[in-house]
Structure 1
Amino acid sequence: MGKSPKKGFLLPPAVGYSITVLTYLFGNYRISLKYLGRVILTVLINLINLPFRIYEKLFINKKYKSQTLEHPPIFIIGHWRSGTTHLHNILCQDDQMGYVNTFQSVFPDTLFNRMGRFLFEGFAKILIPGVRKGDNVTLGTHLPQEEEFALGDKTPLCFYYFWMFPRSILNFYDRFIRFKKIDSYIVDSWKKDYKLLVNKALKETRGKIFLSKNPPNTGRVAEILEMFPNARFIHIHRNPIEVFLSTKNFFDKMLPHLQLQTISGSVLETHIFTLYKLLMSDYLEQRKLIPENNLIELSFDNLESDPISCIESVYKGLKLEGYNQAEPYIEKYLSSMKSYKKNKHYIREDLIVKIKTEWGFAMNEWAYDIPEHIEIVRNE
């Protein structure tokens, strides 16, 4: 029998946020009484981490703020549960790729001071589960992660605040993806934080090309191009019906470990429908801003059925060098994933109708229909 995955204990990413951001969040968004213990523990860890954050900000970050990138970064985008994590993990087998790892995503300013790194990486290794509860993906402090968790650590601008405050998810979308009602100086500060994060990630992972996997950026193409005019993009799409079921399952399993306020299942489901429409509509509108030959679109189905051809097409399409050197490592990783256990999905008839009605524009864009392997359950 195989070894059982390590059990762990997840905490909100606010454990590594600045006191200013922490005060902003806890002062502006209602916390449910049942999560008070989680808040107290989060604040306690945050305060213990404070001296190390201050040291790194004062004496280490300035070294990376002025650095310029030698190579245009690559941004993997797409709606959540569309295969962005799988694609990111595959491409990160190429050692020329640099990325934000899980430890940096939670403690972005406790990265290069030795004592702080020793204490909090050890702490993170103990707490982080062996697999992600929402989809059985392997977790670890050194593994690739989304940078969104870290983008709100100093500047109060991060869509993933919704994991703590899910009732505000649509408000967060307007403010932190579309940047509505956000002062320009705050957005400028966020962009500087982003560049700093990228430079530190390249140092941390010893990469030459920054490879991002951050679904919120699917609706921020214009802002990404303002920061990195030559940025390259890989958009991965998946059948919207599968996306809905996987997103609902993922949220249901992950939210209980991160949320600081309650939300009903029906409200969350409504938010999922609205969020998909917003994100994919914004992407389709902004897609035309990407310079020619700087965008590759691929389907999750093709990545699953013929991953090597898919990855090779990404290298050729974006004119990336180094595929022959990376291929053995990519093949080894793909071989190790053959035992990966996927979740089985069922769907009600009424949800099929709603998805085809509200997300029909995306199904038409990429010619999707009802997947044969999903079991339809009749409404009672």
Structure 2
Amino acid sequence: MMKNEKKGFLLPPAVGYSFQVIVYLFANHLVSFRFLLRTIITLLINVINWPFRVYEKLFINKKYKSGELEKAPIFIIGHWRSGTTHLHNILCQDKQMAYVSTFQSVFPDTLFNKLGRFIFEGFARILIPGTRKGDNVQLGTGLPQEEEFALGDKTPISFYYFWMFPRSIHTFFQRCVRFAGVKETAVDAWKSDYRLMINKALKDSGGQRFLSKNPPNTGRIEKILEMFPNAKFIHIHRNPVEVFLSTQNFFNKMLPHLQLQTIDAELLTKAIFDLYKDIMHDYLEQSPKVPKGQLVEISFEALEKNPQLSIKTIYEELNVSGYEKSIAFMESYLDSKKSYQKNTHQMTRELLAKIQSEWGFAMKHWSYDIPANIEFIDE
């Protein structure tokens, strides 16, 4: 255990969702009996939060629904476990960057209601553990977080519903990333909710340019450009072999704290293989449509080896000002993380062969070989 690590526990993001979304989720997805108590607690907190959500929706949200962004938003994309969180935390040291906080991601409509925020953020500070279960990343209510948790709070479109109902991960991907079978009115509502969330994040974090870190957007480039034609994208990629091992470890450690439904280990492994193929193929298909100067690609390996060079490349290729003013803050942050211990992984040669077979297209595209530090174990 890390020094001074605060213990705590996580609850499913449904604690802050609208009743409309709650009804959709529980009417269409089965709750496993072993998670019945967790479900009851989640719904109880949701009911307690209800009047605060209603107040903010009626009297506060309208202030943030309109208005164009002064600066082009930046979207960090890439498959899970590819370094998106690390890069997001580094770039958020730039004072101009606005972001969705962990608290906003769970209670997006209890953000500017003073009494509601005092109550729920106070409880969240007590309950949230010091580090994330899957990878030891620091947690805190005010720290940067990916917005996918909040995107489904009013309109039932969020890929992260799968954390609660993992058996439907494929269905959620098709519906919430590819928008398959979703009515245009629902897509428009999702876009409106997204803009609202961004405007509130700008106010809440005090930044001038919104910086997103949201892996599902790796497959939504076209939709993002429909909303923000001048949007800038940073795609970070990592050796697929390490991505698989890290994703498997992360899911295995995080799901027990968020799920409301059991899932077979074999089914979860298949979902990991399918998810990578689907979202990376979508990225490779959509990324050429990004206008010149609005997309930069970096590797996790390069970011680890020379973070200053990778960061400078991002600012220069996307024509974003502020590098010289912010690099000292970023270097200070990087120095504070030097003691961070990454998870170690082992694998069988059979698993390696499957990864090469299933994800070989990505290894070829980004010129990845078998990592030298992989430790093989017997079958």
TM-score, normalised to structure 2, is: 0.99
Corresponding position of 1:135:
135
Aligned-residue offset at 1:374: 1.1
Q: Which moved more, 1:2-11 or 1:277-286?
A: 2-11
Aligned counterparts of 2:101 and 2:2: Cα–Cα separation in 1: 26
Q: Secondary structure at the match of 2:210?
A: strand
Q: Secondary structure at the match of 1:359?
A: helix
Structure-to-structure mapping, 1:244-263, within 5 angstroms: 244-263=244-263
Q: Does 1:32 align with 2:32?
A: yes
Aligned counterparts of 1:353 and 1:111: Cα–Cα separation in 2: 48
Q: Secondary structure at the match of 1:281?
A: helix
- Aligned residue identity for 1:240: P
Aligned counterparts of 1:339 and 1:222: Cα–Cα separation in 2: 39
Aligned-residue offset at 1:4: 2.5
Aligned counterparts of 2:208 and 2:356: Cα–Cα separation in 1: 42
> Which 5+ residue runs of structure 2 have no aligned equivalent?
none
Aligned-residue offset at 1:84: 0.1
Q: What does the per-residue CA deviation read over 1:218-243, in whole Å, with 9 as the maximum and x for residues that have no partner?
A: 00000000000000000000000000
Corresponding position of 1:296:
296
Aligned counterparts of 1:100 and 1:4: Cα–Cα separation in 2: 26
Aligned-residue offset at 1:314: 0.6
Aligned counterparts of 2:270 and 2:109: Cα–Cα separation in 1: 36
Structure-to-structure mapping, 1:280-319, within 5 angstroms: 280-319=280-319
Corresponding position of 1:213:
213
Corresponding position of 2:164:
164
Q: Does 1:192 align with 2:195?
A: no
Q: What does the per-residue CA deviation read over 1:13-34, in whole Å, with 9 as the maximum and x for residues that have no partner?
A: 0000001101110111000011
Aligned-residue offset at 1:46: 0.4
- Aligned residue identity for 2:358: E
Structure-to-structure mapping, 1:78-93, within 5 angstroms: 78-93=78-93
Q: What does the per-residue CA deviation read over 1:84-113, in whole Å, with 9 as the maximum and x for residues that have no partner?
A: 000000000000000000000000000001
Corresponding position of 1:5:
5
Q: What does the per-residue CA deviation read over 1:156-214, in whole Å, with 9 as the maximum and x for residues that have no partner?
A: 00000000000000111111100001111000000000000000000000111000000
Q: What does the per-residue CA deviation read over 1:312-364, in whole Å, with 9 as the maximum and x for residues that have no partner?
A: 11111111111111011001000001000100111111111011111010000
Corresponding position of 1:374:
374
Aligned counterparts of 1:203 and 1:289: Cα–Cα separation in 2: 31
Q: How many residues align structurally?
A: 379
- Aligned residue identity for 2:339: S
Corresponding position of 2:123:
123
Aligned-residue offset at 1:290: 0.4
Aligned-residue offset at 1:378: 3.2
Q: Secondary structure at the match of 2:149?
A: helix
Aligned counterparts of 2:20 and 2:106: Cα–Cα separation in 1: 16
Structure-to-structure mapping, 1:93-104, within 5 angstroms: 93-104=93-104
Aligned counterparts of 2:106 and 2:154: Cα–Cα separation in 1: 12
- Aligned residue identity for 1:120: F
Aligned counterparts of 1:205 and 1:368: Cα–Cα separation in 2: 38
Corresponding position of 2:345:
345
- Aligned residue identity for 1:356: Q
Structure 1 runs, 4 residues or longer, greater than 4 Å off: none
Q: Alignment identity in percent?
A: 65
- Aligned residue identity for 2:189: S
RMSD: 0.9
- Aligned residue identity for 1:188: D
Q: Does 1:182 align with 2:182?
A: yes
Aligned counterparts of 2:294 and 2:15: Cα–Cα separation in 1: 36
Q: Secondary structure at the match of 2:338?
A: helix
Aligned-residue offset at 1:68: 1.4
Q: What does the per-residue CA deviation read over 1:15-73, in whole Å, with 9 as the maximum and x for residues that have no partner?
A: 00001101110111000011010010001000110000000000000000012100110
Aligned-residue offset at 1:296: 0.5
Aligned-residue offset at 1:2: 7.0
Corresponding position of 1:240:
240
> Which 5+ residue runs of structure 1 have no aligned equivalent?
none
Aligned-residue offset at 1:3: 3.4
TM-score, normalised to structure 1, is: 0.99
Corresponding position of 2:77:
77
Q: Secondary structure at the match of 1:296?
A: strand
Q: 1:323 to 1:196 in 2, by over 3 A?
A: same
Q: 1:25 to 1:378 in 2, by over 3 A?
A: same
Q: Which moved more, 1:369-378 or 1:175-184?
A: 369-378
Aligned counterparts of 2:348 and 2:259: Cα–Cα separation in 1: 27
- Aligned residue identity for 2:249: N
Aligned counterparts of 2:259 and 2:207: Cα–Cα separation in 1: 34
Q: Secondary structure at the match of 1:360?
A: helix
Aligned-residue offset at 1:377: 1.8
Aligned counterparts of 2:367 and 2:55: Cα–Cα separation in 1: 52
Aligned counterparts of 2:115 and 2:45: Cα–Cα separation in 1: 15
